[in-house]
Structure 1
């Protein structure tokens, strides 16, 4: 019982947990970035979270980062998170085929370098557990 109380308390104090792990377009081929965000929890202790973002509307990896920055600023303004820092860990491309339930992660970002695609795949698998998700270090 005490263990469950501690888990619930930790969930309530984790404001960074309210940021989605993954936000990518529902289909197509597009650029993506892997981002580490850091924010203090309710007790003021810093927490880190890795997130994946990818949108076809963004022609450059930096455009994705700008969009994420705006969203995090809005969360701060609405008091969902108190403060935050972010760091782009790299990028690449995603091919998302919802009909065949497949996602392929590959390539790199000229501006941010290559993301650790295995980490990105692991994060994507949490959101798409019934998909076949893999990566390749080939291609741009």
Structure 2
């Protein structure tokens, strides 16, 4: 990863709740890229997350591409995250990639998993 890309946080999600998320591939002018995860409880739809995320990234001079979406069930008080589902607009994100990105940020969590359905 380049110093340029380090300016873009890998993860920006709410500390608790169930909410839509998108997985985004961000590419610097150098050609280096990384995946980021964005989602929050205030967004009803994946397109709401897109509208909050993509203009900010593009304003910093990066290219980006949504790689899909889903839902995140974040139980910060239990140190657990469940990733599941899909986006009607962007398709299903590769949840294994999403979980890998989340694990880098939440190293002290007991459980970061993905499933097709919302259950533990």
Q: Which runs of 4+ in 1 moved over 6 A?
A: none
Unaligned runs of 5+ in 1: 1-10, 77-82
Matches of residues 1-140 of structure 1 in structure 2 within 5 Å? 14-40=3-29, 45-74=30-59, 76=60, 83-131=61-109, 132-138=111-117
Task: After TM superposition, give the deviation of residue 17 of structure 1 in Å.
Answer: 1.6
Question: Once the two structures are superposed, what CA deviation does each residue of 1:28-50 show, in whole Å capped at 9, x if it has no partner?
Answer: 0000000001112xxxx211110
Q: TM-score of the superposition, structure 1-length normalised?
A: 0.78
| Alignment deviations for residues 46-87 of structure 1 (CA, whole Å, 9 cap, x no partner) | 11110000111111101111111232245x2xxxxxx21111
Q: Which has the larger share of helix?
A: 1
Q: Which runs of 5+ in 2 are unaligned?
A: none
> What is the number of residues matched between the two proteins?
117
Question: Highest CA radius of gyration, 1 or 2?
Answer: 1
Give the TM-score normalised by the residue count of structure 2: 0.91
Aligned residues: CA RMSD: 1.4
Superposition deviation, residue 20 in structure 1: 0.4
Q: Partner of 2:107: helix, strand, or coil?
A: coil
